[in-house]
Amino acid sequence: MDTGNTLLSIRDLHISFISDDTVSRAVVGLNFKVNTGETVCLVGESGCGKTVSSLAVLGLIPQPPGSIEQGEIIFAGRDLLGLSEPELRRFRGKAISMIFQDPLTSLNPVFTVKEQIRETILAHESPGAEALQQRLYKLISSVGLPSPETTLAAYPHQLSGGQRQRVMIAMAMSCNPALIIADEPTTALDVTVQDQIIQLFKSSVQDGSRSILYITHDLGVVANLAQRVYVMYSGLIVEQGPAATLFAKPLHPYTRGLLASLPGTAKRGSLLPGIPGSVPDPSDRPAGCPFHPRCSLSLEACKQRLPQLKECGQNHFSRCPILIHSKKSS
Amino acid sequence: MTTVRMEHNAILQARGLSKHFPIRKGFLQRPVGWVHALDEVSLEVPRGGTLGLVGESGCGKSTLARIILKLLEPDAGELVYQDREISGLPESLFKPLRKDIQIVFQDPYGSLNAKMSIASTLEDGLRVLGLPKHLRRERIGTLLEQVGLSPDIRNRYPHEFSGGQRQRIGLARALSVEPKLIICDEPVSALDVSIQAKIINQLLTLQKQLELSYLFISHDLNVVGHLSHRVAVMYLGQIMEYASTEDIFAAPRHPYTQALLAATPRVYPEQQNKQPLSGDVPSPIDPPKGCRFHTRCPFGDAECRQAPVPLEAKGSGHVVRCLKAGCDNRNFR
C-alpha cells in the first residue's frame, strides 16, 4: 500500500512522562503512517499509548511533564515536531483536526453552536458574512443535523449526545482538513447513534481526498470502518495490516486475545478465553516482548529481546516470530 | 399485558409496572407534564438464570432497576419476589429482603467510597447481616477470593485499583450479603475488552457456584446475548420484544430489535443488511402516539400512528409489540 502518497508518517516516536521519581514511557518507538484518502484505525486498550500518540501529532502533549524524546512526525512533508507554537496553530483545525471522545466536555457550554464553529473558521480564513453563513448551513446539513437555523442557535446542553458529536464533526470538517483524528468518538453513544456516526465518517471520506485516523478499542467498529489497522500494545505497534486480513488471520497473540475476548463470537454462556493478566505499567515494562508475561506461546527468547515487526503477508506485519514461523511452516 | 405467561421458576416477576415522573414548574410546583419512564412493563427473572434488558439511553432500564431495588415506588403494577408481593411492602417488612436483591453499578469509579478501605466497604453489609467481628474478617477474605482478588488488598483504597479491579470489588460488595438476585446495571460498559471478558467470566462462574439470578442491563447486544437466557428489548418505557436469547438473535420480530442487531458492530458480520435508524430516541415527556417506535420505523404507517399497540404472543414465550410483526419483515432492508 506504499503508493508514495503518504500524508502522515510517524517514525520511531518516543514519548515519556516524567514525575518526581518515575519515568513513564508511554510510547516507545512508534511507527505508522496514514495515506491520503485512507481510513486507518489504531486499536488497543487503555494505557497502551493511543491517545498520547494522537495528541503528539497536534503538539498537544504538555511539556513538562511530557517529553518527546525522539522520532519525527511528518505531515505533508513537514516535521511537525520542529514547528513553533504559532506555526502549529496554523495546522490545528485547518489541515489536521481532532474529535474527542466526550462531545459534552469538548464543547463550550456558554457559546452557541454557531459561535463555536464560526470561531474555528475565522481562525484560519476570512470569508464574508454571507459566505460564512452559507458555509455554516452547509456544514450543519452535511452532518445530518435537522434545521440548520435552530441547531446553529442552540447551546450544547440543548442537543442530545449524538447531535453534539455531529456538531463536533461539523466543526472538525469546517476548514476541510486533509486529516481528521478521531479519538474514540462513539464510545459514549448508543449503538444506533454510533452506527449513524460511523456512516457519517464513511461518507465524509468518499471523495478520496480526506484521511481519518480513528482511535478505538472496539474491534467491531474497526472491522466496519478501517482499511488498515494498527494494533498497539504497551507503547508499540504489535501488528498491522489491511483490516480484512488482520481479522481473518491475526498473527499476534495480543490481537488473537482481543478477538477471543469479544462476546458474540464464542458459544453463548461459555467462558471467554480472553487474555490473562493486565496491561503493564509504562513505568515498569517487562523486558523483551512486552506481551510475554500474558502470552501462552512465550519462549525464553521472548523475555530477552524485543522482536521486530516482520512482514507475514501482503502489507501484513507482526511482532510475533512464533506465530509468523508457524504460519510459514503450515 | 397478561399475554405473558408467568413461569413457576421465576425468582422475580414484574407485572404491569408503570412509573411516571412529574415535571413541576412555577411557584406552586404544579406538574405541567409527565416523563413516561415505564409503561406497563411485565417481565420475569428466571431462578438461577439471567434476564437481559436492552435498550438505548433513556428507555427506562435504570428506572426499572431502581423500582426492583425499592429505591422507587411504582405508580402502578406489582413486583413479586419469590411468590411474595414486595411493591407495596413498608420498609420495615421489606428490610429483611433487602439483602436478597443487590446491584452492581456501571461506573466502577463513582460507586466506591474513596475514603473507605476495601475491608470497610465490604464490612458494612456483613455488619447489617449481624456477623460477629472475628467472622467478618474471614468472610472478607473469602469474598475477595471469590471475585478473583487477593485477600491481601483489604486495607487498600479504591484509587489504588484499575477499573476492572474496582468492578470486582463492587461485585464482592454485592455478594457480601449473600444475595439471590443481582441487578447488573451496565457493569462492563466502561471496561476494555479483555477486562470485560474477565468480568463476564466471573459473573458466569459465580452464577453457577452460588445459583445466582441476574437482571443484566446493557446496551451492548453482544454482551447481553452471551450472558442471558431471556432478553427483553425496551424502547421509551415499553417492552417491545421479549423472548429467549436464541429467538431474539435468530428470529427477531420487532423492527427495533432488528435495527439494534444491525447497528451492533461485529468483527465477523454474518449478514450485511445495514439500514441505520435515523434520528434520536424521542423524548419520554411526550412519547409518540400509537406505537412509540413509529417515528423511526421503516414499516410505520397510518395504522401504527392510531392507537397504542399491545404486546402479542408470537410463538411460545415470544411476545412482540408490533402490528407488522405478522408479515415477514425479517428481510429488513
A293 touches chain B (CB under 8 A): no
Check whether A315 has a pLDDT greater than 70.
Answer: yes
Q: In one letter, which amino acid is A267?
A: K
Please state the rounded mean pLDDT for residues A304-329: 87
A190 touches chain B (CB under 8 A): yes
User: Cell 443488511 belongs to which residue?
Assistant: B273
CB atoms within 10 A of CB A155: 15
Question: Residue B194 is nearest to which of A198, A258, A265, comparing CB atoms?
Answer: A258
CA nearest B119: which of B148, B147, B139? Answer: B139
A218 touches chain B (CB under 8 A): yes
Report pLDDT for A330: 66
User: Cell 459566505 belongs to which residue?
Assistant: A131
Report pLDDT for B245: 93
Cell numbers found for residue B140: 472478607
Cell numbers found for residue B183: 441487578
Instruction: Let me know if A209 is exposed, middle or buried by CB neighbors in 10 A (0-12, 13-18, 19+).
Output: exposed
Check whether B273 has a pLDDT greater than 90.
Answer: no
Interface test with A, best of B160, B193, B271 (most A CBs within 10 A): B193
Interface test with B, best of A101, A159, A190, A279 (most B CBs within 10 A): A190
Report pLDDT for A82: 85
Q: Where are the domains of chain A?
A: 6-95+177-274, 107-176
Check whether A164 has a pLDDT greater than 80.
Answer: yes
Higher-confidence residue of B110 and B213: namely B213
What value does the mean pLDDT of chain B take? 86
Give the integer Cα–Cα distance in Å for B195 and A274.
8
Give the integer Cα–Cα distance in Å for B333 and A145.
23
Check whether B263 has a pLDDT greater than 60.
Answer: yes
- Edge to edge, the sheet with strand B30-46 lists B30-46, B10-25, B76-81, B84-85
Report pLDDT for B326: 58
- Place B332 in a pLDDT band, splitting at 50, 70 and 90: very low
Q: Measured in whole angstroms, how far is the alpha carbon of residue B165 from the centre of its chain? A: 22
| Domain that includes residue B328, residue range | 10-100+179-332
Check whether B130 has a pLDDT greater than 50.
Answer: yes
> Shortest Cα distance from A224 to chain B (angstroms)?
7
Query: Can you give the CATH number for the domain in which B74 is found?
Result: 3.40.50.300
Report pLDDT for B270: 63
Low-confidence winner among A50-59, A108-117, A264-273, B173-182 (lowest mean pLDDT): A264-273
Residues with Cβ within 8 Å of residue A128, at least 6 apart in sequence:
none
User: Cell 482478588 belongs to which residue?
Assistant: B149
Check whether A41 has a pLDDT greater than 90.
Answer: yes
Whether A224 sits inside 8 A of B265 (CB atoms) is yes
Check whether B6 has a pLDDT greater than 50.
Answer: no
Shortest CA distance from A219: residue in chain B:
B267
CA nearest B238: which of B76, B87, B60? Answer: B60
Secondary structure element (H or E) that encloses residue A233, with its range? strand A228-233
Give the integer Cα–Cα distance in Å for A228 and A34.
9
Please state the rounded mean pLDDT for residues A94-99: 90
Query: β-pairing, B238-244 with A78-79?
Result: unpaired
- Place A47 in a pLDDT band, splitting at 50, 70 and 90: confident
Check whether A317 has a pLDDT greater than 90.
Answer: yes
Question: Residue A45 is nearest to which of B57, B194, B281, comparing CB atoms?
Answer: B194
Under DSSP, is residue B29 helix (H, G, I), strand (E, B) or coil? coil
Check whether B328 has a pLDDT greater than 60.
Answer: no
Please state the rounded mean pLDDT for residues B92-119: 88
Give the integer Cα–Cα distance in Å for B171 and B121.
12
**What share of chain B has pLDDT > 90, as a percent?**
39
CA nearest B203: which of B188, B190, B218? Answer: B188
Report pLDDT for B3: 42
Whether A262 sits inside 8 A of B222 (CB atoms) is yes
- Cis (ω within 30 of 0) for the bond into B269? no
Report pLDDT for B187: 87
Report pLDDT for B205: 93
pTM of the model: 0.86
Low-confidence winner among A194-208, A293-307, B262-276 (lowest mean pLDDT): B262-276
E strand residue ranges, chain B:
10-25, 30-46, 50-54, 76-81, 84-85, 101-104, 181-185, 213-218, 230-235, 238-244, 312-313, 319-320
Cell numbers found for residue A305: 529481546
Interface of B with A in 141-170 (CB under 8 A): 162-164
> Shortest Cα distance from A19 to chain B (angstroms)?
18
Q: Is residue B133 part of a domain?
A: no
Domain A6-95+177-274 is of which CATH architecture? 3-Layer(aba) Sandwich (3.40)
> Shortest Cα distance from B197 to chain A (angstroms)?
5
Whether A268 sits inside 8 A of B226 (CB atoms) is yes
Please state the rounded mean pLDDT for residues B288-295: 90
Specify the number of domains making up chain B: 1
Report pLDDT for A112: 93
Residues recorded for chain A: 330
CA nearest B111: which of B170, B185, B67, B157? Answer: B170
Do residues B277 and B216 lie in contact, with contact meaning Cβ atoms separated by under 8 Å? no
What value does the mean pLDDT of chain A take? 88
Do residues A257 and A327 lie in contact, with contact meaning Cβ atoms separated by under 8 Å? no
- A217-249 residue pLDDT tens: 888 889 889 999 999 999 999 999 999 999 999
Check whether B2 has a pLDDT greater than 70.
Answer: no
Check whether B1 has a pLDDT greater than 60.
Answer: no
Whether B192 sits inside 8 A of A45 (CB atoms) is yes
Q: What single-letter DSSP state applies at residue A19?
A: -
Give the integer Cα–Cα distance in Å for B200 and B188.
8
Q: Is residue B159 part of a domain?
A: no
Low-confidence winner among A36-45, A145-154, B165-174 (lowest mean pLDDT): A145-154
- Backbone φ and ψ of B167, nearest 5°: -65, -35
Whether B192 sits inside 8 A of A46 (CB atoms) is yes
Shortest CA distance from A271: residue in chain B:
B201
Secondary structure element (H or E) that encloses residue A99, with its range? strand A96-99
Secondary structure element (H or E) that encloses residue A8, with its range? strand A6-18
Report pLDDT for B330: 47
Report pLDDT for A191: 85
Check whether B194 has a pLDDT greater than 90.
Answer: no
Please state the rounded mean pLDDT for residues B140-159: 90
CA nearest B250: which of B227, B271, B278? Answer: B271
ipTM: 0.83
Report pLDDT for B272: 53
> Shortest Cα distance from B202 to chain A (angstroms)?
9
Secondary structure element (H or E) that encloses residue A201, with its range? helix A191-204
Shortest CA distance from B202: residue in chain A:
A271
- Place B161 in a pLDDT band, splitting at 50, 70 and 90: confident
- Place A162 in a pLDDT band, splitting at 50, 70 and 90: confident
Give the integer Cα–Cα distance in Å for B170 and B109.
10
Report pLDDT for B67: 92
Q: Is residue B161 part of a domain?
A: no
> Shortest Cα distance from B117 to chain A (angstroms)?
23
Whether A266 sits inside 8 A of B277 (CB atoms) is no
